[in-house]
Amino acid sequence: MNKELLTQWLQEREMTYYLLASLYQATPASELLKTLSQNQILVSWCEEYARIEEQEQLDLYSAVKGMQNELDSNSNNLTSYLERLQSDFDRLFVGPGHLEAPPWESVYRSKERLVFGEQTVAVREIYRSFGLKSKKHHNEPDDHISLELEFMAWLCKQAADPHISVEDRILYISGQTRFLNEHLLEWVPALCNDIEKAAESEFFRGLAFLTTQWLKEDAVETESILKILVK
């Protein structure tokens, strides 16, 4: 595979994962909302899917279009819109009280649905195997969705480094494949299903659908790229 194309692919994925991570970490800031609205980033990102005659792809475009339309219709009153998004975010992920969509892997993959379960420890060990430690390890479980997505972005960034060996690049990309299949895809679709059911805003409903589809498609694409590189 052409090295420049590979680097571009990795950098685009890095930006996507960082954007998704930021949207699950906190309610988006007004400047980000302005950028998303003014530049039509969400629709531009997925407009190719509108031309694919497969229901799942059309549903993705429709969900993202709903996000964009809601952003655009509230662009002149972002303060009020941010308050509504904050309320939705807190009800889904933060509390107080019952969480509609607990953002931790261990909750979805353990029978007891507890935070700081064995999945938390497993994810922490994967971070450590790449020389990382969560900056929030004292007050946020390592398996929070934003941290797992940020880890994927970091792996993409390392793999895109032009100075690393082919072997190291393969190591980082194979790490992405494993983490997608053994962790993210094992629980994030269920989380996003809960978000879609409970969210009061098109923004978070669309984000949930986008996240699931992105992870599924990225897993397939990353596996294909890895097979090319290891030949």
Q: How confident is the model at residue 182 (pLDDT cuts 50, 70, 90)?
A: very high
Instruction: Enter the pTM of the model.
Output: 0.92
Q: Is the confidence at residue 195, as pLDDT, over 70?
A: yes
pLDDT in tens, 93-113: 999 989 999 999 999 999 888
Please state, rounded to an integer, the average pLDDT across all residues of the chain: 90
Nearest Cα neighbor of 146 from 19, 49, 31, 58 is: 19
Per DSSP, helices labelled H in 75-201 are 78-89, 105-109, 118-129, 145-159, 166-179, 185-198
pLDDT in tens, 34-82: 888 777 777 676 666 555 556 667 777 788 888 888 988 998 888 999 9
H/E stretch holding 59: helix 55-73
- Residue 53 has a pLDDT of 56
Average pLDDT over residues 212-222: 94
Nearest Cα neighbor of 99 from 108, 64, 172 is: 108
